Structure 1
Amino acid sequence: MPAKEFIVAIELGSSKITGVAGRKNLDGSISVLAVAKEDSTACIRKGVIYNIDKTGACLTNIVNKLKAALKMEIAHVYVGVGGQSIRSVKNVILKDLPEETTITQKMVNELMDTNRNMKYPEQEILDAATQEYKVGTVFQLDPVGIQSTHLEGNFLNILWRQAFYRKLNQCFDNAGIAIGELYLAPLALADSILTEAEKRGGCVLVDLGADTTTVSVYYKNILRHLAVIPIGGNNITKDIASLQIEEADAERMKLKYASAYTDNAEIDDTLSYPIDISRSIESRRFIEIVEARMQEIIENAWYQVPSEYYDKLLGGIILTGGGSNMVNIEKAFRNHTHVDKIRTAKFVTQTINASSPDMLPHDGTMNTLLGLLAKGDLNCAGEELDPNGNLFGGSKPTTGGNTAERHPRSASELEPGVIQTAAEKEEAQRIAEEEAQRKAEQEARLQEEEEQRKREEEEERRKNNLWNRMVRGVKDFINKMTAEESD
């Protein structure tokens, strides 16, 4: 019997696009019902779409595979946003208040809206993480109810190129797949693999992907920094392939022989690794190639950590992603960062059930996708498919827009990590334009009323002046007549 309720999440990675359908159970666990994958190397680079048509075709194939497995239409999907050009920028909004003003939630919301309306050249604000508020000279996480003459909001804005955002929405539009929600993928990942103690005590989450490495810094349960470095595991493969080796063979050798760190005393100079039947490569040369690139990745990741948090990482460094499976990866990070507390997150903290272990490998590659699945709260099930097996007939289509049925929300109404969809942005812009027009009309009306009042006052003054002149003229005439009679 087809499942009537399920969540569908899609992750657009540099090596593959993956879709998963799962059902949330009453005990809080998630049962995975179907998984579908498509190779994305021909359409996505560094986590960014560069071929819209091929990406749309991959998305269509993913959804069709899931529909065939579920025997149900898919009304909408949850999508993770990540990849190159995502970066965080600190911003401060100031507000001076009259003396003895009690700060209200409305004032705080106005500060948040002002920050959200910041404009960055060719950049889109995906999310804004509140750092703290400065009330007078004291920093507060919640300033509501405090009296002050000065309120300062400190925010961390997550930016992405507007062109990438438009391409993402266009791909789903072209594929006729409705977006139920857009999530910032690194935040969904962090919520699924980091513990509260790690976030509170301070930690660095490093997601080692195929084309990119994503670094997230947390302290006191707040995201403090986010950056995506455009190098990953594929760079190691290409370095090996530079020895005139096919990339497929280079990838195979990397997975089989590569180590993130090898002690010099353990290197056997007489050992060689076979490339094919007739060729081989000395182990020392292979190790040097791998370690050189791995060192570059680690140093760039560590460089992203703001220096003020170096001594505030009680939670240590948490590694995840496909690259975290490399031998001695923790030792390599420990050597370069001098942080002793390092762990590798092979799987999410939620309880996930699957009919087959092959569906959910515990190697860090599914963590982001499962994090997106856990975030979903709207039923993605449409109508049942045609019992004759025709995916496109016999049932009313439920996809075909870029946004699911949901009341458009303003930026201040969004949960952390949730991104406004294209329709919500359009609705927010429409509301803003209507509000601006309403204010302009109100200001014009007030100005007209003021000008009318001034005209009336001027007319009254003119009349009063005329009356006064008449009165003075009468008085002067009377005085003159009286003076003549006296003479």
Structure 2
Amino acid sequence: MVPKDFIVAIELGSSKMTGIAGKKNLDGSIQVLACVKEDSSSFIRKGVVYNIDKTAQCLTNIVSRLEKQLKTTITQVYVGVGGQSIRSIHNVIAKDLPNETVVTQDMVIELMDANRNVIYPDQEILDAAVQEYKVDSQYQLDPVGIQCTRIEGNFLNILQRKTFYKNLNKCFENAEINVAEMYLAPLALADSVLTEAERRSGCALVDLGADTTTVSVYSKNILRHLAVIPLGFNNIIKDIASLQMEESVAEHMLIKYGCAYTDNNDIDNNMKYSIDSERQVETRKFIEIVEGRLEEIIANVWCQVPEEYCDKLLGGIILTGGGSNMKDIEKAFQNYTHVDKIRNAKFVTQTITSAIPEATTHDGMMNTVLGLLAKGDINCAGGEYDPNGDLFASQKSQASETVEQRRARQASETPAGVVRTAEEIRRAEEEAQRKRDEEERIAREEAEAKAREEAEERRKNSFWNKSWNKLKEFGKTMVAEEE
């Protein structure tokens, strides 16, 4: 049976680009209908687009392969935004108020808009996570209705280099693939692997990827810090390859022999690992290379945890991603961070069903794209797939009926974790400009009308006008007396 209602999500990873289609069931579970992957290492580096044309071509291939499996055209897709240069920065916007002023929702929106309008050189604000509001001397999550004389909005702005943001948007434009919604991939991942208790009590989510490692710190159900470290397990592979071997061989050795933590007393100095039929490497040397680079990654992760939260991670550290499959990775984190509570999130918290084994493999590598799929709420299905038809024409015509009908949202209207596309920002700015022009026109017309009224009033009250009116009255009186 050809599906008529499904959601499509695409993750642009450093090693693989993954496309997935699934359907949400009434019981909250998700049924994965199709899943495809393509190698992306030649055009995506550190999680960001490096070659626009090759990325666009790969996106086209992903969508085409999904359509063939689904036998249905795809009108739009959900996309995850992540990778190098994404970081968070705190910002405070304050406003003094007259005495006995009650905070309104409009005041809160004004603070949010002012924060969104802050300019960071060469950086794009992808999202702004509200930390709390300081109402006089008290901190509140919702200040509306409270009387005060000063209000401060504390925000966590999530930034990315404008070049990377523009390149990502350009890829989908070139591929003529419509974007239903962009989500911050680390936030979508967190929503799918963290428990409510972990987010509330304080935790650090570490996504160990191929080229990057993403760190998200939560406390009291609020994102407190986000950073992407440009180090991943590919760095370990390259270090092993420095022993005069191909990277493919180094990757095989890492998978076969790699261990995150080895006690010094357990190392056999006489033992060697085989590189190929002719060459070997000393066990100790191999272990030192692997654990040396891994320790650097863990050290950078721990440096990203703000000092005020280091001893408050009651929810512990949660590991996920492909790198979390390394043997004794939990022990390595415990040894360096001295955090006893380490959990390895091999799969998402949602119930996933599928006839595709890859979609339900508990290895942490599908968590992000499944998290993006779980975020979707707009039907991405189009008409029946025609392998001989003009795929792009049908895709464009049906896509235009969905996105362009949706009103472009202003920054303050955007849900948490959602990244507006460049097209939506453009339409929102045009709408805001039209609104400003209309307000200016109305204000100008009101000012002109008021000026005319004042001029007429001045004319009526002028000396000559009063004299003329008296003269006319006198003339009328004289005529009446003669009659």
**TM-score strictly above 0.5:** yes
Counterpart position of 1:352: 352
Structure 1 unmatched ranges of 5 or more? 468-487
Query: 1:392 aligned to 2:394?
Result: no
Task: Indicate the residue corresponding to 2:403 in structure 1.
Answer: 404
Cα root mean square deviation, aligned? 2.3
1:433, distance to aligned residue in structure 2 (A):
2.2
- Post-superposition shift, 1:455? 8.2
Assess if the C-alpha contact under 8 Å between 1:74 and 1:398 holds in 2: no
Q: How does 1:109-120 map to 2 (within 5 A)?
A: 109-120=109-120
Name the CA shift for 1:393/1:205 in 2 (closer, same or farther; >3 Å): closer
Counterpart residue identity of residue 143, structure 1: P
Structure 1 stretch displaced more, 150-159 or 396-405 = 396-405
Per-residue CA deviations over 1:353-389 (Å, capped at 9, x if unaligned) read 0103233321100000000000000010000013xx4
Deviation at 1:393, TM superposition (A): 6.7
Q: Indicate the residue corresponding to 2:47 in structure 1.
A: 47
Residue in structure 1 matched with residue 94 of structure 2 by the alignment:
94
State the identity as a percent: 63
Matched, 1:313 2:308: no
Superimposed CA distance per residue, residues 15-49 of structure 1 (whole angstroms, 9 cap, x where no aligned partner): 01000000111111001111011100110000010
2:331 aligns to what? Answer: 331
The Cα of 1:120 is off from its aligned counterpart by 1.2
- Structure 1 residue aligned with 2:242: 242
Residue 437 of structure 1: aligned partner: 437
SS in structure 1 of the partner of residue 38 of structure 2: strand
What SS is found at the alignment partner of 1:142?
coil
Letter in 2 for 1:25: N
Cα pair 2:14 2:41 within 8 Å, conserved: yes
**Alignment partner of 2:281: what SS?**
strand
Are the aligned partners of 1:126 and 1:419 in contact in 2 as well (CA < 8 Å)? yes
Q: Distance in 2 between matches of 1:399 and 1:168?
A: 22
Distance 1:244 1:311, change over 3 A: same
Report the Cα offset of residue 222 of structure 1. Answer: 0.2
Higher mean Cα deviation, 439-448 or 289-298? 439-448
Hey, what's the Cα distance between the residues in 2 that align with 1:291 and 1:399?
53
Counterparts of 2:418 and 2:384, CA distance in 1: 29
1:257-406 aligned within 5 A: 257-386=257-386, 389-390=387-388, 392=390, 396-398=394-396, 404-405=403-404, 406=406
- Partners of 1:359 and 1:427 in 2: how far apart? 36
Counterpart of 1:166 in structure 2 is: 166
Question: Structure 1 395/51 Cα, relative in aligned 2: closer, same or farther at 3 Å?
Answer: closer
3-state DSSP of counterpart to 2:154: strand
Which letter does structure 2 place at the counterpart of 1:174? N
Whole-Å Cα distance in 2 between the matches of residues 421 and 393 of structure 1? 23
Structure 1 residue matching 2:403: 3-state secondary structure: coil
Q: Deviations over 1:279-327 (max 9, x none)?
A: 1100000000001100100000110011011122110000000011111
Stretch of structure 1 that moved more, 455-464 or 187-196: 455-464
Cα distance in 2 for partners of 1:361, 1:330 equals: 20
Q: Is the 8 A contact 2:35 2:356 kept in 1?
A: no
* Amino acid across the alignment from 2:72: M
Which residue number corresponds to residue 216 of structure 2? 216
- Aligned mates of 1:458, 1:285 — CA distance in 2: 97
Cα deviation, residue 391, structure 1: 5.5
Q: 1:212 to 1:397 in 2, by over 3 A?
A: closer
Equivalent residue number for residue 71 of structure 1 = 71
Instruction: Report if the CA contact (8 A) 1:382-1:398 is conserved.
Output: no
Query: 1:480 matched to which residue of 2?
Result: none
Deviation per CA, 1:74-132, whole angstroms, max 9, x where unpaired? 01000000000001011111111111111111111111111112211111111110000
Q: Distance in 2 between matches of 1:53 and 1:427?
A: 25
* 1:181-233 deviation line (CA, Å, top 9, x unaligned): 00000000000000000000000000000000000000000000000000000
Q: State the one-letter code of the partner of 2:419.
A: I
Q: CA deviation at 1:400?
A: 8.1
- The 1:185/1:451 distance shift into structure 2, 3 A limit, reads same
Name the CA distance, whole Å, in 1 between partners of 2:394 and 2:240: 51
Distance 1:393 1:53, change over 3 A: closer
- Name the structure 2 match of 1:124: 124
- Give the partner amino acid of 1:410: Q
TM (norm. structure 2) is: 0.91
The secondary structure found in structure 2 opposite 1:31 is: strand
CA distance in 2, matches of 1:394, 1:233: 37
Larger radius of gyration: 1
Sort the Cα spacing of 1:435 and 1:336 in 2 relative to 1 into closer, same or farther, 3 A. same
Q: Matches of 1:179 and 1:367 in 2, distance apart?
A: 21
Does the CA-based 8 Å contact 2:346-2:362 persist in structure 1? yes
Tell me the amino acid that sits aligned with residue 388 of structure 2.
N
Match of residue 419 from structure 1: 419
Is residue 216–residue 225 contact of structure 1 (8 Å, CA) maintained in 2?
yes
Give, in whole Å, the separation in 2 of the partners of 1:85 and 1:374.
25
For the residues of structure 1 that align with 2:259 and 2:113, how far apart are their CA atoms?
48
On the 8 A contact 2:261/2:329 being kept in 1, the answer is: yes
Distance 1:437 1:407, change over 3 A: closer
SS at match of 1:434: helix
The one-letter amino acid of 2:412's match is S
Q: Which amino acid aligns with 2:251?
A: E
Inter-partner Cα distance in structure 2 for 1:424 and 1:392 = 26
1:3 and 2:26 matched: no
Contact conserved, 2:46 with 2:211, CA < 8 A, in 1?
Answer: yes
Contact 2:73 2:395 in 1 (8 A): yes
Q: Counterpart of 1:93 in 2: which secondary structure?
A: strand
Q: TM-score, normalised to structure 1's length?
A: 0.90
Which residue does 1:251 correspond to in 2?
251
Amino acid at match of 1:404: V
Aligned to 1:108: 108
Superposed displacement of residue 448, structure 1: 6.5
Call closer, same or farther: CA 1:55–1:450 in 2, change over 3 Å.
same
Aligned length: 464
